[in-house]
Structure formats: C-alpha cells, structure tokens
Amino acid sequence: MSDIDYDFGDYDDSPESGDNRSEYRLTASAGVTLELESPPPDDGPQQSGRVLESRTSDVSARGIRLTTTEPLPTGALLPAWVSLDDVSEPFQLMVEVVWCRPNTERSWLVGLQILESDETSCLEWVEAVAKAMSED
C-alpha cells in the first residue's frame, strides 16, 4: 500500500464539508496546458498532440485544482505545463487525474496530483510554491 494521499484536494467548498487536504494551498491562478493525446510519432518533434488549456483555482507543491471544458478520466497520467505569472518558463510536470466532477453544465472541476518524474520540473515547482507561500 502506498503512503501517497490520493484524496488531496477532493473537497466540497461548503462550510460543513471540512477540509481534509494534507497540504496548504495557494489560491492562485496559473495557466495549465494538459496534453490529452500525444502526436503521432511520424509528425516530427515540432508537432503537438491534442491539448486542453485551463486555469488553476488553487495549487500546492503536490497538486493542482482546475476547471476544464471537458471531463478527464480518473487515473489518467498526463504531461502538463504550468505557467506562473512571476516565472518566465512554464513548469513541465507529469500529473495524475485524481478526481473529476461536474461543476456547471459545461465545466468540470479536476484534481491533479503532481508526480515525481525524471525530465520534469517537479523540484523547481516545489521550490516555486514554497517561495510563493513564504511571501504571503
């Protein structure tokens, strides 16, 4: 059994729901690009697959909550690029869709867990979130 908290961020915004998140969250808006489908291998390195653009509603060192225009399958592992206003380059991350639920008739709330992975900016992301929290 893993010690990873797969319930992070899966909360109801109502006051009676309680807050079972394991980490402090920053209420922040950042741009997020999720790669939903990889490009075909013969399209060359400059081609991109199908992507979904979104904005975060809050972030932590281990997770992101965002609103999307389509539902995402729970358990999906997706490459993501997160752009913070005060950082010039987006953070390249690998994320897992931990939960997805309807928000409005045409939007979904999605909880993403940031996974440690080689060739990503995971360490730099953790440092940027820690810096932002210390500035509050």
Answer with the residue of higher pLDDT: 41 or 92. Answer: 92
Q: Domain for residue 105, yes or no? A: yes
Domain count, the chain: 1
| Cα–Cα distance list, 44 to 20, 36, 78, 120 (Å) | 44, 18, 20, 21
In terms of Cα–Cα distance, which of 81, 49, 52 is closest to 64?
A: 81
Q: What mean pLDDT do residues 76-86 have?
A: 89
Per-residue model confidence as pLDDT tens digits over 10-66: 444 433 333 444 455 555 668 999 999 887 777 566 666 789 999 887 888 899 999
Note the pLDDT of residue 7: 39
Q: Domain for residue 3, yes or no? A: no
Q: Residue 31 belongs to a domain with what CATH number? A: 2.40.10.220
Note the pLDDT of residue 5: 36
Q: Domain for residue 35, yes or no? A: yes
Least confident range from 43-47, 52-56, 72-76, 130-134: namely: 43-47
Q: Domain for residue 2, yes or no? A: no
Q: Domain for residue 129, yes or no? A: yes
Mean pLDDT of the chain: 78
Q: Domain for residue 6, yes or no? A: no
Answer with the residue of higher pLDDT: 66 or 7. Answer: 66
- Who contacts 72 (Cβ-Cβ below 8 Å, separation ≥6)? 34, 36, 52, 78, 97, 100, 108, 110
Q: Is the pLDDT of residue 105 over 50?
A: yes
Domain of residue 90 covers 23-39+47-135
Check if the beta carbon of residue 121 is closer than 8 Å to that of residue 14: no
Note the pLDDT of residue 44: 60
Q: Domain for residue 104, yes or no? A: yes
Q: Domain for residue 81, yes or no? A: yes
